[in-house]
A = this chain, B = another copy of it.
């Protein structure tokens, strides 16, 4: 079989079109993706409220690896590869739990929560525990959000963290708690999962529920962020939301917009007339979060990169992570946050909080796998993006750029 020549594929790309088939499932391309793209990113692993106390941990699975995210005795959160330094056994078997120390179940090598090796029985005299701490994974926190990177030099985006923080802080993300989590392993290449999320061209045919929650013009012009739709619609929409923006400013709520590399950006916009929050009927689904004292009916979007997002209403927020596992498998996780003091049953019902995105992400999993099946056909050829898929153009350009640079 002829091997895939990746640079030839990169160069054969036609602007405005989808990628060549090998980019959407070839295992060799996936290896290159890891090295040039995925290992350089900070990946959202979850919210700090999953590990409130020392010893609390959960496993984050990415690109065939398992990372133990654990709160140490020092209060810091650590990220360790789930691989014993003795003979390589998995140390944690359960997806989440609480441990006083990380003890390998095989030979009982015992690691401190910070990953250092505390004790290994019967080792030769010249053995020193100092050299055998768990392999560490890079980790950073951003107002309650845990990010990890598999690479040695993850790229920091100038200004993104600081800019985000204004929104994260106003929404009280750090002190939020998890109302619900949803895991949707999706049988598709990560790029198809991403491309599905960054355009709203499919909203009308595929997402009737989502489309009933957002205004028609918003879906068309800004369904995947400001500027994701046709130019004329964008101009019309920006004019239309001027009044809302003035009200928001009057309330003292933030409105800063930002655009960064890697698909990162942040923006606020109204949901639709009469909707206070992104819920089935627009009515509140929990108590106001963070610094909100009254509803402004807006939704805050933060893209940390092309794979990780936040969509925050005034009374709840959703974290989205699209985590590559292998060339044809991507883990999709949604985490719904509410105010830490909100009481389940009294203040919120997890089903009402999660309704819009629960039904939408379920539909997305099906259409994305359906997309992957067709893309694997020998007759698939790159096709042209519509005017409502502007972000897909940015994404393919960015992705191919990552592959071009050394």
Contacts and interface: CB of A to CB of B under 8 A. Distances in A.
Interface of A: 1, 16, 18, 24, 28, 31, 64-66, 81-91, 93, 103-108, 120-124, 127, 132, 135, 195, 201-202, 204-206, 230, 367, 370-371, 373-381, 383-384, 386-388
Contact of A202 (B31, B106, B387): B106
B386 A120 contact: yes
Nearest to A233: B122
A374 B83 contact: yes
A123 to B, nearest CB: 5
8 contacts: A82-B377, A104-B205, A106-B367, A106-B370, A108-B205, A122-B388, A123-B387, A132-B383
A265 to B, nearest CB: 22
A225 to B, nearest CB: 16
A292 B342 CA distance: 74
A84 B373 CA distance: 11
Contacts of A16: 124
A377 B135 CA distance: 11
Nearest to A85: B383
Given A1-B31, A87-B371, A122-B387, A378 B107 contact: no
9 nearest A-B residue pairs (beta carbon): A108-B205, A88-B375, A81-B379, A88-B374, A89-B371, A83-B374, A122-B386, A90-B374, A88-B380
This protein's copies in its complex: 3
B122 A370 contact: no
Contact of A374 (B18, B84, B202, B377): B84
Contacts of A87: 18, 195, 371, 375, 383
A105 B377 contact: no
A290 to B, nearest CB: 36
Contacts of A384: 86, 123-124, 127, 132
A152 to B, nearest CB: 12
A379 B83 contact: yes
B1 A374 contact: no
Contacts of A132: 383-384
Contact of A230 (B1, B122, B367): B122
Most chain B beta-carbon contacts within 10 A, residue among A24, A28, A90: A90
A376 B104 CA distance: 17
B371 A205 contact: no
Contacts of A206: 105-107
Most chain B beta-carbon contacts within 10 A, residue among A64, A371, A375: A371
A107 B65 contact: no
A116 to B, nearest CB: 16
A82 B383 contact: no
A64 B377 contact: yes
Contacts of A106: 202, 205-206, 367, 370-371
